Structure 1
Amino acid sequence: MESADNKVYFNRPQRLTQLIGANTTVIVAGRRTGKTDSIAAPFVLRNMQRMAGSTGGIVVPTFKHGLTNTLPGLLAAWKRWGFINGIHYVVGRKPPKSFAKPITEPHDYEHVISFYNGSIAIIISQDRPGSSNSLTLSWLLVDEAKFIDYDKLKDETLPANGGIKSHFGHHSFNHSIMILSDMPQTKRGSWFLHYREKMDADLIAAIEATVYEIWRIKSRIRALNTSNSPVPDYLKNHLRRLDRSLNQMRSVAVYYKEYSSIENLQLLGENYIKQMKRDLTPLTFQTSILCQRIGIAKDGFYSSMKERHKYNASDFAALDTVWQQFAAAPDSLDSRPSALDCTMDADVNPLAPLCIGMDYNANINWLVVGQPSGKRLNIVKSFYVKFERKLPELVADFCAYYATHQNKTVVFYYESTALGGNYAVNDQDFRWVIIHEFERHGWRVEDVYLGNPMRHDEKYLLINQGFAGKQRLMPFFNRQNNDDLILAIQAAGVSRGRLGFRKDKAGEKLAETEEDRLEHRTDGTDAFDTLYIGCEKFPYTESASLNIGGVI
């Protein structure tokens, strides 16, 4: 009895990427277009199967990202296609003796995927120093390229992609590299967009035509075999020539393509696109879903913020524990680990209180978390909720993430905007609701009243001086935990009025009603402003009474 074929659906962008098979492939696509599942997974699987014993690299911006996004997507796809953990591959441990050995064995197998034929894939995380040292690679997958440090990639990892030519030189995908991302929003994150100019459109068209011709010849041969007719030698010879030609073209080809999430509408459905438009911040929707290129504000409200004000802070010991649990449970490998909380963050002092600033709006509410450390103000995480989720849910998200934080004290900085307002929750003002919710979750709140909001020109001067190191505290942002906040800060524009600089907040009222918005919401940046002003002007001390007032 024959088993039924396991049919797999690929949308048009996914099919084209696989059929073209360029040596260098760059796909810039919106969320849920199947970049990891149906573009990266076939790329890695092909390389590991057809270059037996080879070593490849999966490059991720942080180990946390690889653990929560890249690997579960890859392994879930393989599982659907019949490749079983423990039979066809193993993760994070030495493979069984029944597996073939790789040509070059790694020093250890802790961060390695091992295939039955001896091929291995090494997880290279840029926040873990030396993870690509002394490697000889035959292929590279670069995931979430907009968060990748190109200088590190260029200096540490790309030189390792030399491969073993004596073994795999005849393959068009030896030394291959695949780069995946949604549309970047910063100049630094746009390093891979120049591949569009490197693509030879005529060469790609020739590859497409050759693939079609090979399909046509193979169809003729199948028809002849079905009818028990002899296959002419010229057809076989022509097919061999086409294969050689295709291999040569693929080996030098660069394929660059941009897609929006709408390309996968057949699987996602219209409701997903509508939900993302509603739930995501506007600029994130434009870049991550519609995959639109946007202009970056050159003279923004936070013009002194530089790349050096962002940092990575993974607790590798905690992440390795989660990784070991992840690798030891075959049935959970294709799903995201659930035990990700503040214990994974190396920048949080568990014995110190957490300082917060918030912003309140009918449609979106923000909570930004920071901890002063010497002359630094580390912005360790930010949260937001939208529409039917209000302040109680926002506080609950915070408390769930920081459930293991030892010092259950929150220093809540707030302005007069938190008093008297109630449209985000009920008939109580924002301050009351926030304090009540924190206390309900077992936290102690030290509330610090900052008075009326600071004038925009004064705020502009204070915060930009902070970024420049001319104030007591300099703000720094945890990249992994503040994606949307960093985007908001980088995109916040300025307008000039009779009082000088003002933050351009015109886009706030249009954010959820216009399809193609160019401004990002400033709500999150207002929460950051409150936090910075509070920590800078009203520093918390355990012995001080913080329930103070004043106009700043």
Structure 2
Amino acid sequence: MMKNQTVRIDSLSVYDDVEVRYSTWLKMITDLMEPQNLFLVLGRGTGKTTDYLSERLMNICYEMPHSYIALVGNTYTNLLKNVVPAIIEGWNRKGWIEGIHYVVDQPPPDHFKKPYKTPYEYKHTISTFTGNFFNYISMDTPSSGAGNSYQHLAGDETKYLEKNRIDRLFPALRGDATMFAKSPYYLGVTFTTDYPNIIMPGEYDWILDKEKEMKLQQIKYLLQISLELNKTLAGTIRAAKKRNKKLLATLQNKMKKLSVLKTRLRINSTFFYKASSFVNVNILRLDYFKTALAALGEIEFNTAVLSQAPMVEAGQRFYLAFDNRHIYEDGIIRENYYRYRTGDDAETFSTDLKYCIPDKPLEIGADFGNMISMVVAQLQGNTIRVLKNIFSLSQKTEKICERFLKFFAHHKKKVIDFYFDRSANAYQDVGRDWANEMKKFLEAWPDGTPTGWTVNLMSRNQGNIEQQLEFNFVKALMNENYRELPNLLIDKYQCRQLISSMNVAKQIVKKNAKGISRIYKDKSSEKLPKEKLPMYSTNLSDALKYLLCRRPWLRIYQNKKSTFSDTELT
């Protein structure tokens, strides 16, 4: 039913064909209340994007036509491949048709209403027949939100959106108040997510603080009035069908009064709600939860499905000095993504990296085993900049090499300095030389044709790097104790799994073979199911270990220490 529609006896046919939809109780009350600000923390399988977010955006378009709306995501590729297509899927389910109700990545047709100001460009935007204009803003391309004003902000997967970046967007909530202020949606925000696991790097729980901004009494009144208004609307429809003019007039008058009261209550209203996936149990069925528990494990199931706070693991971090100063967020050239349309399988390549210097060699650190891990970096002056992490859950080195060659296909200086695990040397004696195998697949295609790359094996004959030595050395490097050692910078979005691996790595203290207490990296996470290894295991952090713990830098550290109790370098 269209918003603010008055029921008239001469339009009874509108209600003869009623569309029946399934909805959960939570979806119904959010639709009924229509608060200015909506924050939902919902378990998986609840339809956060295709149901809650998409229909709310439709309602905003109806109630606040001609407005600008910002769609916020953690990365530009995630917006193009996942978030926006899911919103559009929800629109299609609810009756909107492309070309009739909305267009993507192109100027709107002449019969569409126009936004209150003319857009500069239409690439990666959505225009609707109500005159609304949607623009994409991602955290990895800060310039994507520059220069525009918006009347509403909306975002999915909010747990990946850093609070200070979101806070910098709020000043963009502005615009022509004389045109839009009559709508309670004006200057409002809509954010949905599953429960943030703050143990994991790159996940943020600021949305949980929004519960404090909810005025509970206001929301109770708003829900009460919304239910009464809905009940009156139903009575109005029945009265119209029975052609009871007297009752119809009475109910329509009541609707007008209730609508005014509801609008007043909606202004400056905030509704926060946290619900598990069981809110949608009638659709998901019990088997969904059994399967999810088996696939996710208890810890992730508790947060992703049950929306429970994660349990903080015992122990200390192995990388004590690692923090946000070692992470950079602006590594993507946004304009390069204009080669994609919304919904394309958008990919990132080295030419899209702002800080990748194409005419300088690359450096790789690699770790082998049940998962093959690779971190790719460049030494730029006195900074070692980690540009990309790549991994393969198979033990086939050709697979991970294919991914590297694809990503860096257009890199000009095709020279690699390769640092690797001591086990790659040790395996020479048992017939599998991991390092030389990777060198072979990086330098030649399967048919023997040269790739153009030259790989220098930098760790041949290097001895074991004890975990106590890694602990001390990396702490000194990250603390920038010695100017002869490089500064470390890691791309937040291209190295998400590496950053996670470093943050979940724990230190344990135990005695070595000589009975001396030493610090070790807890490697128990490497026994997790394969699909969890990239984010939750120490594998990728070990690849960084071999990149950083190279002999020249270790010798600098050794020489700078007045006393040094770690294993001698070989």
Superposed displacement of residue 486, structure 1: 1.2
Residue equivalent to 2:374: 367
Residue equivalent to 1:546: none
Please say if 1:177 is aligned against 2:177.
no
| Distance of 2:492 and 2:240 partners within structure 1 | 59
User: Which of 426, 434, 437 in structure 1 is aligned with 2:438?
Assistant: 434
Residue equivalent to 1:445: 455
1:102 partner amino acid: P
Residue equivalent to 2:152: 139
| Distance of 2:356 and 2:230 partners within structure 1 | 57
| Distance of 1:535 and 1:140 partners within structure 2 | 50
Superposed displacement of residue 101, structure 1: 2.8
* Kept in 2: contact 1:380–1:477 (CA 8 A): yes
Superposed displacement of residue 459, structure 1: 0.9
* Kept in 2: contact 1:310–1:478 (CA 8 A): yes
| Distance of 2:17 and 2:396 partners within structure 1 | 49
Residue equivalent to 1:459: 470
Residue equivalent to 1:501: 519
* Kept in 2: contact 1:89–1:116 (CA 8 A): yes
User: Which of 122, 130, 141 in structure 1 is aligned with 2:135?
Assistant: 122
Residue equivalent to 1:547: none
Residue equivalent to 2:407: 401
| Distance of 1:65 and 1:208 partners within structure 2 | 34
Q: Render the CA deviation track for 1:348-376: whole Å, top value 9, x for unaligned.
A: 233334322233343x3322222221111
2:400 partner amino acid: L
| Distance of 2:415 and 2:73 partners within structure 1 | 35
* Kept in 2: contact 1:55–1:121 (CA 8 A): yes
**Equivalent residue of 1:194, what SS?**
helix
Please say if 1:320 is aligned against 2:320.
no
Residue equivalent to 1:354: 362
| Distance of 1:268 and 1:473 partners within structure 2 | 54
* Kept in 2: contact 1:163–1:174 (CA 8 A): no
**Equivalent residue of 1:177, what SS?**
strand
Residue equivalent to 1:194: 209
With 350-359 and 226-235 compared, the bigger mean Cα shift is at 226-235
1:83 partner amino acid: W
Q: Render the CA deviation track for 1:97-148: whole Å, top value 9, x for unaligned.
A: 4333322334444454322232222333455455545544221113443443
* Kept in 2: contact 1:37–1:73 (CA 8 A): yes
| Distance of 2:32 and 2:362 partners within structure 1 | 52
TM-score by length of 1: 0.80
Residue ranges of structure 2 left out of the alignment (5+ in a row): 1-12, 446-450, 511-515, 556-567
| Distance of 1:263 and 1:303 partners within structure 2 | 40
Cα distance change on mapping 1:268 and 1:304 into 2, 3 Å: farther
| Distance of 1:411 and 1:274 partners within structure 2 | 44
Please say if 1:307 is aligned against 2:324.
yes
| Distance of 1:435 and 1:283 partners within structure 2 | 39
| Distance of 2:290 and 2:117 partners within structure 1 | 45
Taking the TM superposition and a 5 Å limit, the aligned residue runs for 1:470-509 are: 470-471=481-482, 472-497=485-510, 498-509=516-527
Superposed displacement of residue 313, structure 1: 0.9
User: Which of 141, 146, 154 in structure 1 is aligned with 2:167?
Assistant: 154
* Kept in 2: contact 1:259–1:291 (CA 8 A): yes
* Kept in 1: contact 2:155–2:192 (CA 8 A): yes
* Kept in 1: contact 2:229–2:258 (CA 8 A): yes
1:95 partner amino acid: P
Cα distance change on mapping 1:123 and 1:254 into 2, 3 Å: same
1:355 partner amino acid: E
| Distance of 1:391 and 1:11 partners within structure 2 | 48
**Equivalent residue of 1:252, what SS?**
coil
Cα distance change on mapping 1:31 and 1:305 into 2, 3 Å: farther
| Distance of 2:320 and 2:215 partners within structure 1 | 38
Please say if 1:469 is aligned against 2:476.
no
TM-score by length of 2: 0.78
Taking the TM superposition and a 5 Å limit, the aligned residue runs for 1:250-269 are: 250-260=266-276, 266=283
* Kept in 2: contact 1:200–1:253 (CA 8 A): yes
Cα distance change on mapping 1:219 and 1:44 into 2, 3 Å: closer
| Distance of 2:250 and 2:18 partners within structure 1 | 32
Cα distance change on mapping 1:460 and 1:263 into 2, 3 Å: farther
Residue equivalent to 1:521: 537
* Kept in 1: contact 2:24–2:279 (CA 8 A): yes
- Percent of counterpart pairs with the same letter? 21
| Distance of 1:437 and 1:28 partners within structure 2 | 45
Cα distance change on mapping 1:257 and 1:533 into 2, 3 Å: farther
Taking the TM superposition and a 5 Å limit, the aligned residue runs for 1:101-120 are: 101-110=114-123, 112-120=125-133
Cα distance change on mapping 1:537 and 1:261 into 2, 3 Å: farther
Cα RMSD for the two superposed structures: 4.0
2:192 partner amino acid: L
Q: How many residues align?
A: 521
Cα distance change on mapping 1:276 and 1:151 into 2, 3 Å: same
Please say if 1:343 is aligned against 2:360.
no
User: Which of 252, 263, 282 in structure 2 is aligned with 1:247?
Assistant: 263
Superposed displacement of residue 339, structure 1: 4.5
Cα distance change on mapping 1:17 and 1:221 into 2, 3 Å: closer
Residue equivalent to 1:542: none
Cα distance change on mapping 1:528 and 1:18 into 2, 3 Å: farther
| Distance of 1:462 and 1:285 partners within structure 2 | 36
* Kept in 2: contact 1:54–1:137 (CA 8 A): yes
| Distance of 1:56 and 1:196 partners within structure 2 | 23
